[in-house]
Chains A and B, each alone.
Chain A
Amino acid sequence: MACVLACAFLAGPAPGQETGAPLEVALSPRNANYAIEVRLDPVERTLEARQTVTWRNLQEHPTQELWFHLYWNAWRNERSTWMLEDELRKRSEVDRDKVRPEDWGYVVVDSVRPVATTRFAAPDDGNPDDRTVFVVSLTDPVPPGESVEIEMTWHARVPRTFARTGFRGDYFFFAHWFPKLGVYEPEGWNCHQYHAATEYYSDYGVYRVAMTVPEDFVVGASGRQVERRAHGDGFATHVYQGEDIHDFAWTASPDYEEHRERFESAGLPPVDIRLLLQPEHRRQARRHLAAVAATLELYGTWFGPYPYPQVTVIDPAFESGAGGMEYPTLFTSGSRLFNPEGGGSPEHVTIHEAGHQFWYGLVGNNEFEDAWLDEGINTYLTGRAYQQAFGDTYRKVRYFVPPGTQISGFFPLLFRDLPENWALPADRLDRYRESARSDVPSTPTWRYHPGSAGNITYSKTALWLVVLERHLGWPTVREILAALFERKRFGHPEPEEFFSIADQVAGRDLSWFFDQVHRSAAVFDYAVDSATSRRVPARGLFEEEGGLAYRGERGEHYRSEVVVRRLADGTFPVDVLLVFEDGSESRQSWDGRGTWKLFAEERAARLDYAVVDPDRVLILDVDYTNNSYRIEDRSLFPAVKWGATWLLWLQDLLSAFAWFS
């Protein structure tokens, strides 16, 4: 079924076919426009560039400054804010012992015109060693609605991959590589320093980028190719243009193998999919393309069509560190030499990054401050889309991890007895549980603890969206997201807009919920504390026709009592289900606000078990095991079963120790 869904939309390949026409009608404000000419020296690993930035002031007050991100300066040295924060993570992204002098990167602005002065700023932490924000003071202010054009020249050294940008051998991936404007807001420039746990925020515009690289290099880039000219000196210039996008990424490598397909589906515009694949993943081309097609189809149907005529998928080089990242109209997936079908890869990462074309690319939230608006929502939707397109996967373990390295195992083994549901993977709850109290989600994301930011941004948000889905139903949640998508396409949504739309669409005030999952670090844990079912004596005088009559025994009669407790601070309305030995059931609701509640029933049948939240609406419950209580204890069999499984492993482990004697 998965393949039928995913493959149905792919028309025949069109090798060499030109991608679609430029978007003539502006879909976005197009107030931050770039024309860049850049030349790559692959031996020295440097970039030389000239760029013209045309910026229009959308605010109602003038400004005499332009604030730029110089992201690559995060890897000039270990004193940058990015590097300092990265050290706080449990598992640092950078193995500092292995960084060589030539691995560091930087970007230097050589000239800016017209300009009065330039300076570096560190608006978030005042770190004097951070050079990731560059302020240009203009000679004249830019009035509201007016534009300014400035010309810059700059050069950069390409880092060995940090944060998914850089090089490995002759493989290059360029992301956040040029001096890039922040966003001018009513409060002033929103231009954060580069932080280890957050991503990006920019205005929309038109990008025209001419990239000069060795002639044998294949280039992939945001937008579409409009020109390619060889210079006869071993270099060629590739010109790409993209409209209504808020960033521009590109890649160059002599090894890419190109695959093209056209996505077509009734009611959705066609999209040319260009896949640049590592040759050793040739047999996985179909899987990548199917995942992209499934995303364009599902997200397009759920929220609105993907408006660009093309999308480029990059399968990055092995261990290049560039995989699993989104950029407008281009994204990186990531695969391995051995990647069995049913293991979730590369389909899952491909869906996720393709999904970002909608939530990040089209709805351009501020990822520095509210990363959950794209990462959380998209994580939730990725699971749903994956499950719908590809169904269950299986637990996968990769063996042969070289000791002392950070490489994951080369040889995967699928455990077909351990199915996994991507709509709700168990490890997502594990990650949330680990960081449940770490940060209040409404805190600006860049202030999250770098070690647990991902768990809050991705896992917690995706989980509470599942709760909302189970509480309100998928049609309502889809409608909420579609309304947000419609309103904020090519714009910058704020969290409160999401919450307000949710209230409107759901037709009720949901602030009690968002107060807990977003504006606090409340934790949910309901439990069945005790359940008893005892025979009730029923002798005595009972009313019958003709008055009171004595009855010795009325037969089997049980009083079942179930105590349900709220063990944490979070509250949520829950159902409590009592199931009796004769198969009958009793379902009652509880607003979940008190610390405990007694549920009692008198019936002819004995209670079998009781469950609080039997439909598992409240997926955020950090301990679901304690949500049930069965009168008869049946724990012996599983204990023996899994104890015996572990026993066999331990016996073999002991034999491994015996090797040394």
Chain B
Amino acid sequence: MRCFGALVRGLGRALATPRILLWLWLVNLAIALPAAVWLGESIRSSVRHRLAAETLRQGFDAGWHGEYRAEAGGVERSFEPTLLGVGAFLKNLEAWLGLEIFQVSPALVALGVLYAAVWLLLLGGVLEHLVRPSPALTLDRFLADGARRFPPFARLAVLSVPLYWGIHRGSRELFPWIEALTRDVTVERTVLAAYLAGATGVALAAVLVKSVFDYAKVAMVVEQRRSALVALLRGGGFVLRHPFRVFGLVLWWALLSALALAGYAVLAPGAGVDDSAALAGAVLLGQCFLLVRFILKVGWIGGEAALYQDNQRRLPPPL
């Protein structure tokens, strides 16, 4: 099976059970929403009865924002007008590339870690369904599958921490090293090329680690394994034997994600949203975009499962 075919099959499996997508989106929303309500209340209290409320309604008020930030704590300081439209996603992409998402406020890091744990819980259910689709999927069954897979998945996650940390440390050495290497280069284009090469290397390393652990989870579910270490060996072996298909699948996913982001960039309204209908439309569009991202993500996981299962079928039967 080619990687694009795997992604198509994964997307087909994802879209065949919209309930899963809906649950994933709802969990994401449920964890983020209280913090957003808190931040909204913080913004509200700073402009309550003030005319700045009107300028914030019609657009943005940079003067107000400076005053707000001067008084703000960690979470509030993450609010910037440049989170508008694709700005939010570019900021996160940049933070992810530099593993700087852990440098936001401690409260948000805690929320992120909580979400990562919940995602791990849900992932078991997602994978179980992608590997063995069941038309009669219920939330109870989904959660039960997730709970059953959670302990070994958690062990895998723990095992991945030093590797990601290593990549982080490596990138912290790599980029300053590139800076030192290019310290006498006077042409920005050349320096940019060097950094892009470095960033590509870091991204590939991160994708490699993720793929190994992803296929370990897939192996665990496909082969009904309990041992995280054996699954890790299976996943690692699969990635080493099929690097082009593994990375090809990632590239297709990245390309589709970029296209979705470009589409959102075109459609996303800006700061001028000033009535309830337009605001509702903007919120809806943003959430739809996130839903598309969930479809792509589950499609990617489904593609990984499809690649792995396809390979299993091709193997000669055990003697």
Contacts and interface: CB of A to CB of B under 8 A. Distances in A.
A binds B: yes
A318 B191 contact: yes
Contact of A628 (B50, B62, B86): B50
A336 B189 CA distance: 10
A642 interface: yes
A645 B88 contact: yes
Contact of A429 (B50, B63, B286): B63
27 contacts: A168-B183, A319-B188, A400-B97, A402-B199, A403-B100, A404-B172, A404-B175, A420-B62, A622-B67, A624-B67, A625-B50, A634-B53, A635-B53, A639-B44, A641-B57, A643-B39, A644-B36, A644-B286, A648-B88, A651-B290, A652-B92, A655-B293, A655-B297, A658-B115, A660-B116, A660-B161, A661-B120
A654 B111 contact: yes
B116 A403 contact: no
Nearest to A623: B67
A402 B198 contact: yes
A661 B272 CA distance: 37
B252 interface: no
A531 B195 CA distance: 57
B28 A648 contact: no
A168 B187 CA distance: 11
A280 interface: yes
B244 interface: no
Interface stretch (A224-232, A243-251, A407-415): A407-415
Contacts, number: 282
Interface residues of A, number: 81
A410 B82 contact: no
Given A403-B100, A404-B171, A658 B83 contact: no
A502 to B, nearest CB: 27
A58 to B, nearest CB: 42
Contact of B29 (A399, A623, A651, A653): A651
A622 B62 CA distance: 13
Given A401-B98, A636-B44, A650-B36, A169 B290 contact: no
B223 interface: no
B188 A643 contact: no
A contacts with B: majority SS: mixed
Contact of B179 (A397, A405, A651, A659): A405
Nearest to B283: A644
Nearest to A419: B59
A426 B63 contact: yes
A645 B83 contact: yes
Nearest to B58: A638
A38 interface: no
A439 B296 CA distance: 55
Nearest to A637: B57
A302 interface: no
A624 B279 CA distance: 27
A470 to B, nearest CB: 15
A660 B157 contact: yes
Contacts of B191: 318-319, 407
Given A404-B175, A649-B92, A653-B104, A415 B192 contact: no
A611 B51 contact: yes
